[in-house]
Amino acid sequence: MERRYFLMAAAAPALLWAQAPDDDIIFDQVRRRLTSDPQVKGHQLEVEVNEGVVTLKGVVASEKLRDRAEKLAKKVKGVKQVINQLRVG
């Protein structure tokens, strides 16, 4: 019984790793959220993803849109951090 428990515990991190979305999936989901949002839609935003860290670049019309884009990106499964380099202009 104890042996099974040990094997299951050892396999758990591997199962969690296998379920984490990769950067391409995160990229697609972040882009989809940003383009489908009626407030952010239409802005030329660049999205980069590296090991779950999303970087947003580009220009938005207001600080409100800058914050909204960051919040939308953070809601995507697998996103560990959002680096918001959006400029207001």
* Two tokens, residue 58: 């580009």
CATH code of the domain containing 36: 3.30.1340.30
Q: How far is 28 from 76, CA to CA, in rounded Å?
A: 10
36-68: per-residue pLDDT in tens?
999 998 678 999 999 999 999 999 999 999 999
37, part of any domain: yes
79, part of any domain: yes
18-30: per-residue pLDDT in tens?
556 799 999 999 9
Identify the domain containing residue 77 by its residue range: 21-88
Q: Check pLDDT > 60 for residue 13.
A: no
72-83: per-residue pLDDT in tens?
999 999 999 999
* Domains held by the chain: number: 1
6, part of any domain: no
